[in-house]
């Protein structure tokens, strides 16, 4: 049976289903399945259960954030892709729930085009991890396990 206090939602936004082949010089060669496997392996050691999902739809991310709270999840790790830079709805969702949110980006948007410099969800995130590639997701998991957030 699932103990929800050990449940971590790992939410991924648009185009992240293409990881592995999508601009590997920017995002690396790990696929989302590779990342899920890494997180599940480490999660098992830490006693944390990983629920990793991907969608290309903004409202789905909002629904899943609400669901994480309703399920009593310990934390949400989220890479909202381009919605990072546009979505007040995701910011509102992060502010509306008590479940802590960690923002992860494979690349460092602050070192890229100016339109990527704003992060709406980052305004409500307990922590932001930028530019560490797939390892950034593991760093987020470690932060949860360490009780840092």
* Catalytically annotated residues: 27, 105
Of 49 and 101, CB closest to ligand DQA: 101
Among 6, 15, 17, 56, binds ligand DQA (CB under 6 A): 15
Q: Are 50 and 10 in contact (CB under 8 A)?
A: yes
User: Does residue 18 touch ligand DQA according to CB under 6 A?
Assistant: no
User: Does residue 122 touch ligand DQA according to CB under 6 A?
Assistant: no
Distance CA 42, CA 52 (A): 14
Reading the block at residue 34, the tokens are 């590779």
| Shortest Cβ 32–ligand DQA spacing (Å) | 11
DSSP 43: H
Q: Which of 61, 93, 60, 106 is closest to 80 using CA atoms?
A: 61
Angle at which helix 88-96 crosses helix 58-70, to 10 degrees, equals 0
Of 30 and 49, CB closest to ligand DQA: 30
Residues 61-80 vs ligand DQA: string with x where CB under 6 A? ------------------x-
Please tell me whether residue 144 adopts helix, strand or coil conformation.
helix
Residues making contact with ligand DQA (CB under 6 A): 15, 79, 81-82, 84, 105-107, 109, 116
């Amino acid at each position: 049976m699932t103990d929800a206090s050990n449940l971590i939602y790992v939410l991924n936004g648009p185009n992240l289903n293409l990881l592995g082949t999508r601009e590997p010089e920017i995002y690396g060669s790990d696929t989302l399945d590779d990342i899920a496997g890494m997180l599940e392996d480490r999660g098992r050691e830490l006693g944390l259960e990983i629920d990793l999902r991907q969608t290309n739809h903004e409202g789905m991310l909002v629904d899943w954030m609400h669901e994480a709270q309703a399920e009593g999840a310990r934390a949400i790790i989220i890479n909202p892709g381009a919605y990072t830079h546009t979505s007040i709805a995701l910011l509102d969702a992060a502010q509306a729930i008590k479940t802590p949110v960690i923002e992860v980006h494979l690349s460092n948007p602050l070192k890229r085009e100016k339109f990527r410099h704003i992060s709406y969800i980052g305004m409500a995130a307990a922590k932001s991890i930028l530019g560490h590639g797939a390892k950034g997701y593991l760093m987020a998991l470690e932060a949860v396990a360490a009780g840092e957030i």
